[in-house]
């Protein structure tokens, strides 16, 4: 599943950020912002026009992403009800 497909308020874990072409600056920037394997992520809100932008939380930081940017982030939904950032 991708971050753009995640249900609203759902918690997930980042699996990977996919590059769409060699030297993909957007994918590289997403990784620099903290979208890295194992990081907890949550879809906080969707914008009013076509669902854009997406408000995404990684740790305690929130980002507004375009749907196309969020679609590059592969995630696994958390089924155990765990909250991102909480100690296991």
Q: Centre a 10 Å sphere on the Cβ of residue 55 and count the other Cβ atoms it contains.
A: 15
Q: Which residue has the tokens 């994918």?
A: 27
**The dihedral sign for the CA sequence 55, 38, 7, 1:** positive
Residue 6: exposure state from Cβ atoms within 10 A (0-12, 13-18, ≥19): buried
Q: Please report, in tens digits, the pLDDT of each residue of the chain (88 residues total).
A: 999 999 999 999 999 999 999 999 999 999 999 999 999 999 999 999 888 999 999 989 999 999 999 999 999 988 655 544 444 4
What pLDDT score does 59 carry?
Answer: 86
* CATH fold for the domain made of 3-77: SH3 type barrels. (2.30.30)
What is the pTM (predicted TM-score) of this model? Answer: 0.83
Q: What are 43's two structure tokens?
A: 């879809």
List CB contacts of 31: < 8 A, sequence separation 6 or more. Answer: 17
What pLDDT score does 51 carry?
Answer: 86
């Amino acid at each position: 599943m991708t971050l753009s497909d995640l249900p609203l308020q759902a918690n997930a874990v980042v699996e990977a950020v996919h590059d769409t072409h060699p030297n993909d600056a957007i994918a590289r920037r997403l990784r620099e912002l903290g979208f890295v394997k194992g990081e907890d992520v949550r879809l906080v809100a969707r914008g009013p026009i076509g669902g854009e932008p997406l408000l995404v939380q990684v740790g305690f930081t929130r980002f507004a992403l375009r749907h196309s940017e969020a679609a590059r982030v592969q995630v696994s939904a958390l089924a155990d009800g765990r909250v991102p950032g909480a100690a296991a």
